[in-house]
Homo-oligomer: A and B are copies of this chain.
Amino acid sequence: MAQLDPQQVLDAYIAAVYAKDVEAFVDLYDDQVSVFDMWGEWTYQGVEAWRGMVTGWFGSLGNERVRVEMQDVQTVLTDQLALIHATVTYSGLSAEGVKLRSMQNRLTLVCQPKNGGWKIIHEHSSAPADLTTSKVILQR
């Protein structure tokens, strides 16, 4: 099995979100994925739970789109397991492409070869919380 091409995973994530393509998004993940997501839920266990999150997210966007940019990307690649972590900027765009708002998350992805391709088996996204207010800090 060839090593993971991390840029390919990140580009596919960016493209699926921009296209609001649930199937392309879900296809990045293993059936048994466990996700520690930024918002609301403690854990999404399995790709069907995760599909529910992304279906709701994309469905809530109306005629807006989300542009994703990856910064501070670091990777550790082996034949059997791969780590990617990054700072992600999510920008909400109007139907005309005007930037309406943006926020940043810290993203950790762990990928494993499955049936001849690499799949995300664990994702953890978050922003640090302010010790005084307990509110998350959404800009680096």
Enumerate chain A interface residues (CB-CB to B < 8 A).
34, 36-43, 72, 74, 76, 78-83, 85, 87, 106, 108, 110, 112, 121-122, 124, 126-131, 133-138, 140
Q: Which residues of B contact A135 (CB under 8 A)?
A: 129, 133-136
Instruction: Answer whether A76 and B85 are a contact pair too, CB < 8 Å, given A41-B128, A108-B124, A131-B39.
Output: no
The answer on a CB contact under 8 Å between B76 and A78 is no
The answer on a CB contact under 8 Å between A112 and B76 is yes
8 Å CB contact of A126 from B34, B126, B130? B126
Q: How far is the CB of A118 from chain B (nearest CB, A)?
A: 13
A135 and B134 alpha carbons, distance in the complex (Å): 5
Q: Which residues of B contact A134 (CB under 8 A)?
A: 135-136, 138
Instruction: Answer whether A40 and B128 are a contact pair too, CB < 8 Å, given A76-B112, A81-B78, A85-B34.
Output: yes
**15 additional A-B residue pairs with CB within 8 Å, beyond A79-B80, A81-B81:** A34-B74, A36-B106, A36-B128, A40-B130, A40-B131, A40-B137, A42-B87, A42-B140, A43-B72, A76-B81, A78-B78, A78-B80, A110-B110, A124-B126, A134-B135
